[in-house]
Amino acid sequence: MSKKSRKKSSKTPSGSPTAKKEAQKPRASTQTRPAKTQRASAGKSSKTKAKAASHRAASKRLKSSEQTSNPESAPAPDLTDGQKAPAFRLPRDGGGEVTLSDHAGQKLVLFFYPRADTPGCTREAIDFTRLADAFTAAGTAVLGISADPLKAQEKFRDKHSLGVPLISDEKHEMLEAYGAWGKKSMYGKIFLGILRTTVLVGADGKVVKVWRNVRVDGHADEVLATARSL
């Protein structure tokens, strides 16, 4: 065999297995690049999602803190014994207005109820009506207060023949001043509303006693007994 023939035979044929492997190497290299790009892209996407979730959580915390500091959602102030009763001027059933000064020099019972013509509020108003003459004899006036409009109060009065004046505080001014407006819970939901409360004001215009979270049964009798003891 000549030298030229030996040189030609030493070259690797293009169709041999070695040639195929060599030809596949560049293609394998180009195939790995998209995989790396996908992993990098997935990493960036995860970081972006994490940042977005963190931002949303921070926004929720900020909103929560703003709601907590909102005066409208703050707890109602508590009256204490001996404190001067807050002044008020509000419309009453039958027309006209009622003020704290109208009852200067006499004891005054203020019972705050959530809603006219509901079962508990009806029993409470009927009990105070039943004892109206006894309260008068004890030198004590009685007023019922809720956020119902006057028409609802008058309908409530007429339906149950109530004998105590009913005050309408639709703007919650008196309710808030006397601590009868605040957070309530029902079926797992928290909302603002009227807290069933009774306040006994002495003849000197100062708070004598406050009943909170009132249980209706026997309540009017208990308030009468306290008024008589003064």
Closest residue by Cα to residue 88 from 167, 148, 14: 167
Alpha-carbon distances, residue 136 vs 161, 175, 224 (angstroms)? 18, 24, 10
DSSP at 106: S
Cβ atoms of 202 and 104 within 8 Å: the answer is no
Tell me the pairing of strands 166-168 and 140-146.
parallel
Helix (H, G, I), strand (E, B) or coil at 163: coil
Q: CA torsion 61→66→70→76, rounded to 10°?
A: 20
Closest residue by Cα to residue 122 from 113, 131, 132, 135: 113
Catalytic: which of 98, 121, 143, 164? 121
Tell me the pairing of strands 189-194 and 197-201.
unpaired
Secondary structure tally for the chain: helices H, strands E = 7, 9
The Cα 214–Cα 200 span in angstroms is 13
Say whether 159 is catalytic.
no
The Cα 121–Cα 113 span in angstroms is 6
List the catalytic residues.
121
